[in-house]
A and B are shown apart, each in its own frame.
Chain A
Amino acid sequence: MKTPTMDASVQRLRPTTVEEVQEAVGRHPRIKPVGNGSKRALARPGPGETVLELGGLAQILEYEPAEYTFTALAGTPVATIQAALAEHGQYLPFDPPLAEQGATLGGTVAAGLSGSGRYRYGGVRDFLLGVRFVDGQGRLVRGGGKVVKNAAGFDFPKLMVGSLGRLGVLVEVSFKVFPRPPAYATLVVPRPSLEDALETLARVATAPLDVEALDLVPGEQPQQQATLHLRLGGLPEVMAARADRLREFVGGGELYQGEEDAALWRQVAGFQWAPADHTVVKIPVTPTTIPALEERLASVNAPRRYAVGGHLAWLAWPGPLTQLDRWLAELGLGGLAILGSAEPVELGVRRGLPFLRRIQEALDPEKRFSTTERT
């Protein structure tokens, strides 16, 4: 196990085997598991924490294209997987964010992050089939399996999604994948106001249109022009006809295809629209709660994007998070800071804590992983 010297005050371990992870957990009272650190806000260690970098555990263990499944070590970069899948015309439909910035599979699971593509078939939670993780007592635990359908035992894979490494260190993950649509096109539709855009979004969401992604970019103020991004995927021979139909349904719009379409969504997945000195916060919302959030945000210059048919807000917040934390709590919403340096990373309302605490007591009784957790 190498110990890189990036920061003299923080001990960093970079295990290259599962046994080394178990050993590290046994030896260090406070552990902060991270992948490659692409989600900067989540990668910072708390006082006294030893950083466990999982980037050294990178390998595709099994990939059978005909099974629509693969198993890889948790530190495997998402980009490596995407390249391997692409060779067989397959993909992870939920658009894992920050893939080009080095995001790992384990980090994506632990942060619980899905991108715009999760609109169509579901998010990281829906594609994760199995996990192996090292719990707070250094035990290697398996949950779920490697087949696309499995109802045996407690669903530890789901539990690991969004766990931020506080219930165990992910060392291996198995995913379901899908055939990738051979062609894509995106319709960019301006609407005169937020209200109008939300109205159109609701019409599309309940229509029998197979839209891969449905994002809304609001104007600075609710009365300003908002833009809908609607992505179609499918067979190239009918793409033009489908796009025409969609355009007619929403009343206009400009069509992006090929590299233009790909570039548009690469920007979104990499958060290139967010200023570098801002904190990018994930906020689960619904189309119904967006207006109230927008009302608060009208007084702040905070670039933002509503992805997943208005179910996920990405907000680039300019300063300390205190104000946002309060607003989210008042609105009954939760939030997670993923990029930036602000504290705390968890904002607003947290749900299910009485259940979570019991699980933590079972998996990490000595609190190796949750030393800086906000209660």
Chain B
Amino acid sequence: MVTAPFFAALARLIPPQRLLQRPEQLAPYESDALTAFRARPAAVVLVESQQEVIDVVRLCHEHGVPFVARGSGTSLSGGSLPLADGIVIALNRLNRILQLDPRQRIAVVEPGVINLDVTKAAAPYGLYYAPDPSSQLICTIGGNVAFNSGGAHCLKYGMTSNHVLGIKAVLPDGEVVEMGGPSLENVGPDLHGFFVGSEGLFGIALEITLRLLPKPESYRTVLAAYASLEAAGDAVAQVVASGLLPGAMEIMDHLAIQAAEAAVHAGYPQDAAALLIVELEGEQIQVDAEFQQLMQVIQASGATEIRVAHDEAERARIWKGRKGAFSAVGRLSPDYIVQDGVVPRSRLGQALAQIEKLSQAYGLRVANVFHAGDGNLHPLILFNGREPGALERAEALAGEILRMCIELGGSITGEHGVGMEKRQYMPEMFNETDMAVMHQVRRRVDPKELANRGKMLPGMAPHPQPIQTQEVMVQP
């Protein structure tokens, strides 16, 4: 509990202008990009140094106060939803790139650094940071680490954890630990890998060593339209079977196409039932040769229309529609929930058919945007929050989609994390023993369960009451 002695001690650590306690100061921290859920924290601390984070965490441990670390608040799973009896440690000001070494191909950054800023800093050396969640303009590396964020390029390059080489973190009782290092290789258990994706339950990352890659020399981007989702899905299977390894393969359904087109005028064929975007990248000579192969596959795949980006501007336009699709869906509906389940790639068609059935059964429209190469679905469930019971129905539909993903051998989350939103489905994906072991590990690392209490593991914190909201604008 937050007590007067705790506040007094906190005020000794943090100057008043960075210790927010008034309701109007706390309001922006009540929720993250999952705006259907809100809770007002007791205080928000705007930390400016690693030592301040350590001091505040130690104080929380001493007084038994739960804390939530937060960056830009773009979590779509409620990962940075605060607790009413806890504090928020806001890390945005911890945003220095401490080291950028092209010879070692690494960047050492603080958790509040914006994802895209790493790539910007690396660009003069011909390098870039590969993980690119759609929110990369605004999301922070600390949040990416907490949720093992993904993006459009995971098939070839993997998720965030594949690009984190080392982490210095403060554990929930204030002990500071360094894991991994600047090398691509490691000896001993991969502790930094284990820390990534732990959704803040193991403490707060203070310094993160990222792997940088040389920027691909050449891209070839193809947009293909199909008369059915199934045909687009089959095309993905054919690309894979041909032995190509594209950097990205994305599919959008009719509703998502319309939304994207209305929002950003990407020039997408609007009558298509599904669009497939395939992008090859690498050495120009190689990519040109692979492109010939890709075009043969696409031409034989029954596409109704094929467009090839001839320059960077055309390529950017294709991607703009895809990357803006989520927020564009806000134009079609006052509210929506985005889900993030994964199915084996060969079950994509089956999964989409099932989603369509559920959509009809629940009387709610569902737009689909997904990372087809990874089997990572993003059904956007549209509803009107002002309609009584609509949110609950949307949530129930979302839950059925998650159960379907588990049944098909997939996962309840590909890149958004479990957070507060999906924790109740964890026991359906993992059995009792798995869950017990996760709880035990958590409790050994954080005996008081203070670090991001109530996320990922069901059981500890009460399920917050949903609050109906106005238009949701998110950039997942």
Seen from chain A, the residues whose Cβ lies within 8 Å of a Cβ on chain B are 64-69, 89, 112, 114, 118-119, 121-123, 125-126, 135, 139-143, 145-156, 158-164, 166-167, 178-179, 182, 202, 205-210, 234-235, 237-238, 241-242, 245, 282-288, 308-309, 311-312, 334-336, 346, 350-356, 358-359, 361-363
Docked-complex contact B411 and A145, CB < 8 angstroms: yes
* Complex-state Cα separation, A355 to B456, whole angstroms: 20
Q: A150-B413, A153-B434, A159-B191 are in contact. List 15 more A-B contacts (CB 8 A).
A: A67-B345, A126-B162, A142-B431, A142-B434, A145-B410, A147-B375, A148-B345, A149-B374, A207-B214, A208-B217, A235-B289, A286-B103, A336-B187, A351-B181, A363-B440
Interface SS of A by simple majority: mixed
Q: Which residues of B have CB within 8 Å of A179?
A: 240, 243-245
Interface size range of chain B in the complex = 35 or more
Q: Which of B89-148 contact A (CB under 8 A)?
A: 101-106, 125-127, 147-148
Q: How far is the CB of A241 from chain B (nearest CB, A)?
A: 5
The 3 closest A-B pairs by CB, nearest first: A158-B193, A208-B217, A352-B179
Docked-complex contact B194 and A158, CB < 8 angstroms: yes
Q: Which residues of A have CB within 8 Å of B346?
A: 64, 66-67
Q: How far is the CB of B396 from chain A (nearest CB, A)?
A: 20
Tell me whether B290 is interfacial, beta carbon within 8 Å. yes
Q: Which residues of A have CB within 8 Å of B217?
A: 208-209
- Decide: A161 near B126, CB < 8 A? Known: A141-B437, A237-B289: no
22 A-B interface contacts by CB (under 8 A): A65-B241, A67-B346, A112-B190, A119-B184, A126-B158, A145-B411, A148-B155, A149-B159, A149-B371, A149-B411, A152-B426, A162-B188, A202-B102, A205-B105, A209-B214, A235-B290, A241-B285, A282-B187, A284-B184, A312-B184, A361-B444, A362-B441
Q: Which residues of A have CB within 8 Å of B216?
A: 208
* Complex-state Cα separation, A359 to B158, whole angstroms: 25
Closest residue of chain B to A135 (Cβ to Cβ) is B437
Docked-complex contact B430 and A153, CB < 8 angstroms: yes
Docked-complex contact B243 and A182, CB < 8 angstroms: yes
Select A140's contact among B147, B417, B433, beta carbons within 8 Å: B433
Docked-complex contact B440 and A288, CB < 8 angstroms: no
Select A125's contact among B193, B290, B414, beta carbons within 8 Å: B193
* Complex-state Cα separation, A358 to B156, whole angstroms: 34
Tell me whether B451 is interfacial, beta carbon within 8 Å. no
Docked-complex contact B185 and A282, CB < 8 angstroms: yes
- Decide: A151 near B183, CB < 8 A? Known: A234-B286, A358-B444: no
Select A121's contact among B156, B180, B431, beta carbons within 8 Å: B156
Docked-complex contact A154 and B197, CB < 8 angstroms: yes
Report B355-377 CB contacts with A as 1/0, cut-off 8 Å.
Answer: 00000000000000001001110
Select B438's contact among A151, A153, A283, beta carbons within 8 Å: A153
Closest residue of chain A to B126 (Cβ to Cβ) is A206
Q: How far is the CB of B211 from chain A (nearest CB, A)?
A: 9
Select A66's contact among B191, B193, B237, beta carbons within 8 Å: B237
